[in-house]
Amino acid sequence: MADTLTVSGNRALMIEEPLIFELGHPGRVGVDLPAPAPVDFDRLGGCRRSEPAALPDLAEPQAVRHYTRLSQKNYGIDTGFYPLGSCTMKHNPRLAEKMARLPGFADVHPFQPVGTIQGALEVIDSLAGWLKALTGMPAVAMTPAAGAHGEWCGLMAIRACLEARGQGHRRRVLVPESAHGTNPASAAMCGFSVDSIPAKDDGRVDLAALTAKLGDDVACLMLTNPNTCGLFESEIIAIAGAVHGAGAFFYCDGANFNAIVGRVRIADLGIDAMHINLHKTFSTPHGGGGPGAGPTVLSAELAPFAPLPFVVHGTDGFRLIEHAHDAPGHQPFGRIKGYHGQFGVFVRALAYIMSMGADGLRQASSDAVLNANYLLARLNDALSPSFAGPCMHECLFDDRFLKDTGVTTLDFAKALIDEGYHPMTMYFPLVVHGALLMEPTETESRETLDAFVAVVRALAAKAKAGQAEEFKQAPRFTPRRRLDETLAARTPILRWRPPADRQAAE
């Protein structure tokens, strides 16, 4: 782009930044460490490293500038509106960060004697208490590290329970076509087969089709509710009844719990197990892709099979159960990760929950649903909504409004980037063509929504006015323009190599 050429290649605040490997010079150091006492290395079992690790040497100011400049090439919630459907990009309170950094939480070890970590166990127990109360479920497995990990945990508990009942032959899991890809992947990891169930025209599970698929070999139904189209499964109680009637369990993907927390009790819906994404509903930061946490609430029937470890109340404070034989009456299906769960995420989630309180949590889900319906109402005539409202916390459009414009959902998303917005989720769920899934969240003001609506409407008008070429060029003002993903996948370059190595390889 000739109009943006500069001598340096930089564009004011947008500064080109090499890789750390291109910045290093031997002799520099970013951490001053004392000289080690002389040792003769005879304790290394004859396995002293032969080639030092090829890492670049930088001084602290270079490193700080490097990461600062890289951060400036990222869009975060702190930057602007991030209506990424099914991801819940809402404000991350900084109080939670401050609490997680208290030395009493950040600087304690999982294997200290339990007498020295009562406060840490209290955090886990308090958070577990809130999760149980907010869902009405009797038990919660706290250790799953993420939503998908929670799905697997819940399905493993179901499998273990079926085996204990002598019903190990139940191996089929029913999953709607609109489900997150993690659902079938998690089911496969438990040795289950996946059978997909269709949706009705209104975007909800077809109860008749589901009932027809039930049978003596079905282990469970996995259903996201509210579903991935942003709709509440209005027949959910009948669905639960049919599933239970067939002797199967009902797993709910709780990714969208944020729409209903404080307004609906999960236990009242007939759900046997559900994971809760703390990084969504309880606002812990996404961190560019984790870490999250996915505690999984369980019914009384599944509770005895919950994984190790877990916290219980002892006569002398909290106890940590790390072995099956310390928990009479329990038949844990195993351990699913190291240590005691995503503790740092627990602290943040609990700080958020205590800040919001029962009243604030209910207000948050109400405002999340209000905001999504407001977007739906204001964009109703400019885009093509896939389903009639009301929606829950997110609203789904498809690409019918772009028909014959030459503009695709992808182009539309890239144009939003140039306008200063993070795009909505594209091409998911798969059940509508060219999906645009918008989740505004409750932490966005009305002014933000109005400004976004104005931009989306203007872009839709532009597309319909035949200005496809402009969309194809977007984004134009970003640190990088559209990237060649085909090249990346055909000739994978997954690490930096020194120029000499590269020449040798060619």
- Residue 300's contacts (CB-CB under 8 Å, 6 or more residues apart) are 138, 139
Query: From the CB of 271, what's the least distance to other proteins, in Å?
Result: 10
Query: From the CB of 488, what's the least distance to other proteins, in Å?
Result: 4
| Residue of the chain from 6, 10, 73, 245 that contacts other proteins (CB under 8 A) | 73
For 279-298, give the DSSP string: HHHT----TTT------EEE
Residues from 268 through 287 that contact other proteins (CB under 8 A): 268-269, 283, 285-287
Query: Is 181 near other proteins (CB under 8 A)?
Result: yes
Output the CA angle 68-70-76, nearest 5 degrees.
Answer: 90
| Residue of the chain from 165, 323, 400, 403 that contacts other proteins (CB under 8 A) | 323
Closer Cβ to other proteins, 341 or 434, answer by number:
341
Helices (H), 308-390: 343-379
Structure letter (DSSP) for residue 354 = H
Instruction: Specify the stretch interacting with other proteins by CB under 8 A; choose among 37-45, 210-218, 242-250, 397-405.
Output: 37-45
Query: From the CB of 276, what's the least distance to other proteins, in Å?
Result: 15
Residues from 424 through 483 that contact other proteins (CB under 8 A): 428, 442-446, 475, 478-483
Query: Is 110 near other proteins (CB under 8 A)?
Result: yes
Instruction: Specify the stretch interacting with other proteins by CB under 8 A; choose among 143-151, 210-218, 431-439, 460-468.
Output: 143-151
| Residue of the chain from 10, 245, 355, 381 that contacts other proteins (CB under 8 A) | 355
Distance set, CA 492 to CA 238, 485, 496 (Å): 49, 10, 11
Residue 263 phi, psi (nearest 5): -120, -20
Closer Cβ to other proteins, 101 or 403, answer by number:
101
Query: Is 328 near other proteins (CB under 8 A)?
Result: no
CA atoms of 77 and 89, how far apart (whole Å) = 7
Number of residues that bind other proteins (CB under 8 A): 207
| Residue of the chain from 83, 87, 214, 251 that contacts other proteins (CB under 8 A) | 87
Instruction: Specify the stretch interacting with other proteins by CB under 8 A; choose among 243-251, 320-328, 397-405, 457-465.
Output: 320-328
Element (H, E) at 463: helix 446-464
N- to C-terminal Cα separation, the chain: 31
Reference 388, options 183, 164, 204, 190; nearest CA is: 204
Closer Cβ to other proteins, 19 or 312, answer by number:
19
CA atoms of 181 and 165, how far apart (whole Å) = 29
